[in-house]
Structure 1
Amino acid sequence: MSHIETPAKDIVSLPLKGAYGTGTLVLNLLPASVSIFAFFLVTAYGMDPVLAGLLTGLPRIFDAITDPIMGFITDNTKSRWGRRRPYIVIGSILSGVLFALMWQMDPEASQQYNFWYFLLFSLAFTIGNTMFATPFVGLGYEITTDYNERTRLMAIAQFMGQIAWMIVPWFWVLIANPDLFETQAEGVQKMALIVGGICMILGIVPGLFCKGIDSDHIDNTKEISLRTMGTNLVAIVKGIIQTFQNPSFVKLCAATFLIFNGFQLVSSFAYYIIVFHMYNGDYGAAGNWPAWYATASALMTAFFVIPIVSWMANKWGKRMAFIISTSISIVGYGLKWYGFTAGNTWMIFLPIPMFCFGIGGLFTLMLSMTADVCDLDELKNGMPRREGTFAAIYWLMVKIGQAIAMILGGVVLSFVGFDQSLAVQTAETMTKLRIADIVIPASTAALAIWVMWSYDLDEDRARGIQKELIERRGEL
């Protein structure tokens, strides 16, 4: 158990933790909705699958440019409202509006028209979402300076973020329901308006109520203007290089990439296994079991896994909590072999309480540890503090992992011999797919444990860094 009690000044009240959590809900709801809605580009709008793939992949490349730039801008902003909050408010409004507009395509229009319509609005949405997401994550790193309170803050935030994953799987059911919408295109259009409106309202909340470091206390900031664009681009590149020269942060990024990429790569396999292995390709018989499976995973993560991981981090430290929770997830992946057997569909819920420790522990701990890394960076490189840059690079690793997983997921399906034209897959194909569903995430999780085994930024060292920083520049 941590031997140091959190000072009163560093405690974040439950309402403020909840206010920050609403932003995490938006941070999860928007990309989760995009991944669901993207399916209907082909079925509702008649988009060629290759073009549909481009539409989901090109914005990720654009992210690689916009994220570090936004991180630099928010780190060097000075305003009466702080470095992050103005961008969070404006970015949440832009994200909600542009997300809704992005899906208002005309199913009767030509494929070329809809391709360019979606691509342009998707790139605009990427800018708006980057304007919200990068400063929002950076704000979370600086709301409190206490080692353990950072974990408690991220636990509440991730708890609320799981609400998105409880809701989103049911979009499949709602959009395809003819009793609700005459066509799938109409379902996508109206659901996009609802999701955009919700995200716009909830995304504003942390920008209004959560306070970070006062920008007046941040020294050595760069001027943000057209005149300084050239020198600032050089500074952005230099900042990215410095970020990757931080061994602790590199380990966090590598472990996140491994676990998230492994999890995302097989995330759709459960759907295929339920339908084609347990119900022999009968979609009607499979019914809503895939949606219930996804919702149960989110519920278990929110109400069971995150509280336990937070407790472990406070008792044994963040590194050990990560190793334990990731090890538990490996056991859970193995239990999938017994859970996904024909004849008793309820058994699909057997492995959920254990494998959910992988993702549930990942972001609760990694975001808290990244906040500690930001202190280490200030100690080594001085002002300005660069929470925005670290947020941009960290989430860029997540997005790249997600993009790679989307590509490799199809490769694995092809490798195991899955044939989408067949209503019933061969027993050999489904056996190979079930093995891949277990081995891939278990292997990447094991590699992540190996990466984090030598992580050395523990509580004593983190508090020592805090003490040195306070002696150098006082309280922020």
Structure 2
Amino acid sequence: MSETIPHIPGQRKVPLRTKVTWGFGGLADNFMFNTLTALGTLVYVQHFGLSPALAGLALALPRLIDAFTDPWIGNLSDNLKSKYGRRRPLMFFGVIACALLLPLLWTPIGVETAQNPWFSNIPFFYIVTVGSLLAVAYTLFVVPYTALGFELTPDYDERTRVIVWRMYIGLIGSVSAGWLFRLAAADTFPNLGNGAFWVSVGVALVVLVSGLIPTFGCKEDLKIEEQEPIRLGEAIKYTMTNKPFVILFIAYVTIIVALFSAQSIAPLLMLHYVFNGSEKAIGDFTGWFTTLAVALSYGSMFFIGFLSTRFNKRIAMMIGLGFVLLGTMLNYIAIDPRWPWALYVVGAVTFIGMQGCWLMIDSMVADVCDDDELKTGRRREGMFSSVKGFALKAAQGITFGLGGYMATAAGYDPQVVDSVGLDEATAVKMKALLVGFQSLGLLLAILMMWFYPISRQRAEETQRLLEAKATKSDEVI
């Protein structure tokens, strides 16, 4: 291993302009990731006529397929050598491809076969194909983009202050994504599918602009390219034998599987049980609920961020997860057509903790990169970012399919629901499966975080050792 590579590129204090410029990529990231989530299940089931289980599978497979490209792209980003840097060329091609592919999600061919079994269902194969291409393009942007942010500073607390700008700006995309279905269902469009297409055209333009801002506006430390390339298998081995990262990885996967299991079952439960089949009503609710979520997410980042500086990131993470768990458990009472307002109250409890948890995870991965460099002598932000991306996509793929299966297992039949509505017994089963599964997952994640070993003291000691190692290396040169 080379010991002459300058460790931990970046500055202790990052200029505000750099933070904001890098943060704009969070807006592109949110729209790339959330557009399909916001529209997918309802558009494919309600408009194109796929069953919930098949729609869930069509949404799951691209995530699972693309999850296995993440480590390859992460390693490519760590080893790429160009005059523009390791990260930015990949970001450029990724954001262009995403902008082109987003509207194509809503133009499936062979819609007359939507009720067929999967092997003769043309829309199913179309969605899987376009969705897979979009997922790979998303990875091509988000993995090097995330790694670029990790490299901006070596400071334990400044990392949190940098990463939070991705969320400050990206949350604008989250609140907008919450209104996408309402816009697609507007009377302006002849049908829901046409609405989803034109709404996605607008989203694609936002993705293009916001994704190119950090691509051209941030600079890289080209000296890091001097480190020798590492093969993919070896890179994965180093990554998955890093104990702090493995603990964080398992906790992250558990959280994603728990929370995202709602993506395929919750929209159906809300639409047909809480809002009695009204697309306009659920569109309004989703928009206002997401707006509340974003407003409280800013508070969550300040609150959990304060706890991380007052104590450490592990404690802050566990407290945040505690709020999410409490809100999730209360959903069993709140999901009821008699008091839809309760969903806002319970959601507020969840949102106080949730966004701060995402902030802590990203900041902790940056600390893991230092721990890894101390052991391997390499800067491998791309690989750690990509394995985190692998966890996200694999877990989301599992939960798209799992959520659709839970709805079917509880007795949800789209043909019956369309003719007579969703009966109380089936709705209660769906609700119990959803809340029980999410609560169990969150409890397991809190338990895993108890064993996370990188404290403030350990991170600062790692910094000291790396700086001493770099100083010694410079003296030798």
Aligned to 1:436: 433
- Separation in 2, partners of 1:362, 1:305: 9
Q: Matched residue of 1:343: which SS?
A: coil
Aligned to 2:222: 215
Deviations 1:166-199 (A, max 9, x none): 1123222222223x11233332322222111211
Amino acid at match of 1:392: S
Aligned to 1:393: 387
For residues 160-309 of structure 1, what are the structure 2 equivalents within 5 Å? 160-178=169-187, 180-212=188-220, 214-222=221-229, 235-267=231-263, 269-281=265-277, 288-301=284-297, 303-309=298-304
Q: In the TM superposition, what is the alpha-carbon distance from 1:110 to its structure 2 partner?
A: 8.1
Q: Matched residue of 2:167: which SS?
A: helix
Tell me, yes or no, if the aligned pair for 1:42 and 1:49 is still in contact at 8 Å. yes
Q: Matched residue of 2:179: which SS?
A: helix
TM-score (norm 2): 0.86
For residues 63-142 of structure 1, what are the structure 2 equivalents within 5 Å? 63-105=66-108, 119-142=128-151
Deviations 1:276-312 (A, max 9, x none): 44445565666622432233223322x2211111111
**Is 370-379 or 38-47 further displaced after alignment?**
38-47
CA 1:395 to 1:20, structure 2 compared with 1: closer, same or farther past 3 Å? same
For residues 6-85 of structure 1, what are the structure 2 equivalents within 5 Å? 9-39=11-41, 40-45=43-48, 52-53=55-56, 55-85=58-88
Amino acid at match of 2:174: W
Q: In the TM superposition, what is the alpha-carbon distance from 1:83 to its structure 2 partner?
A: 1.5
Tell me, yes or no, if the aligned pair for 1:42 and 1:48 is still in contact at 8 Å. yes
Aligned to 2:340: 345
Q: Between the two structures, name the one with larger relative contact order (CA 8 Å, sep ≥ 6).
A: 2
Deviations 1:16-74 (A, max 9, x none): 22222221221121121123343434554566777655543332233133211111111
CA 1:437 to 1:46, structure 2 compared with 1: closer, same or farther past 3 Å? closer
CA 1:104 to 1:414, structure 2 compared with 1: closer, same or farther past 3 Å? closer
Is 1:328 paired with 2:295? no
Q: Matched residue of 1:38: which SS?
A: helix
- Separation in 2, partners of 1:464, 1:47: 55
- Separation in 1, partners of 2:264, 2:33: 15
Q: In the TM superposition, what is the alpha-carbon distance from 1:266 to its structure 2 partner?
A: 2.3
CA 1:269 to 1:292, structure 2 compared with 1: closer, same or farther past 3 Å? farther
Amino acid at match of 1:252: L
Q: In the TM superposition, what is the alpha-carbon distance from 1:220 to its structure 2 partner?
A: 3.4
Q: Matched residue of 1:345: which SS?
A: coil
- Separation in 1, partners of 2:284, 2:316: 34
CA 1:105 to 1:135, structure 2 compared with 1: closer, same or farther past 3 Å? same
In the alignment, which of 393, 397, 419 is matched to residue 403 of structure 1? 397
Once the two structures are aligned, what percentage of the paired residues are identical?
A: 28
- Separation in 1, partners of 2:86, 2:451: 34
Tell me, yes or no, if the aligned pair for 2:185 and 2:280 is still in contact at 8 Å. no
Amino acid at match of 2:380: R
Tell me, yes or no, if the aligned pair for 1:18 and 1:156 is still in contact at 8 Å. yes
Tell me, yes or no, if the aligned pair for 1:143 and 1:210 is still in contact at 8 Å. no
Amino acid at match of 2:13: I
Tell me, yes or no, if the aligned pair for 1:169 and 1:291 is still in contact at 8 Å. yes
CA 1:456 to 1:35, structure 2 compared with 1: closer, same or farther past 3 Å? same
Q: Matched residue of 2:20: which SS?
A: helix
Tell me, yes or no, if the aligned pair for 2:247 and 2:448 is still in contact at 8 Å. yes
Q: Matched residue of 2:247: which SS?
A: helix
CA 1:346 to 1:240, structure 2 compared with 1: closer, same or farther past 3 Å? same
Tell me, yes or no, if the aligned pair for 1:259 and 1:359 is still in contact at 8 Å. no
**Is 153-162 or 387-396 further displaced after alignment?**
153-162
Tell me, yes or no, if the aligned pair for 1:67 and 1:130 is still in contact at 8 Å. yes
- Separation in 2, partners of 1:48, 1:436: 19
Tell me, yes or no, if the aligned pair for 1:29 and 1:164 is still in contact at 8 Å. yes
Amino acid at match of 1:427: E
In the alignment, which of 390, 397, 418 is matched to residue 412 of structure 2? 418
CA 1:121 to 1:411, structure 2 compared with 1: closer, same or farther past 3 Å? closer
In the alignment, which of 373, 377, 385 is matched to residue 372 of structure 2? 377
TM-score (norm 1): 0.86
- Separation in 1, partners of 2:408, 2:324: 26
Amino acid at match of 1:190: W
Q: Tell me how many residue pairs correspond in the alignment.
A: 454
- Separation in 1, partners of 2:312, 2:429: 38
Deviations 1:296-351 (A, max 9, x none): 223322x2211111111111110000111111222222332443344333222111
Q: In the TM superposition, what is the alpha-carbon distance from 1:241 to its structure 2 partner?
A: 1.6
Amino acid at match of 1:236: L
Deviations 1:417-445 (A, max 9, x none): 33431344343333333333433222211
Tell me, yes or no, if the aligned pair for 1:280 and 1:424 is still in contact at 8 Å. yes
CA 1:286 to 1:402, structure 2 compared with 1: closer, same or farther past 3 Å? closer
- Separation in 1, partners of 2:294, 2:24: 16
Aligned to 1:227: none
* Contiguous gaps of at least 5 residues in structure 2: 1-9, 115-120
Aligned to 1:147: 156
Tell me, yes or no, if the aligned pair for 2:184 and 2:195 is still in contact at 8 Å. yes
Q: In the TM superposition, what is the alpha-carbon distance from 1:101 to its structure 2 partner?
A: 4.4
CA 1:341 to 1:319, structure 2 compared with 1: closer, same or farther past 3 Å? same
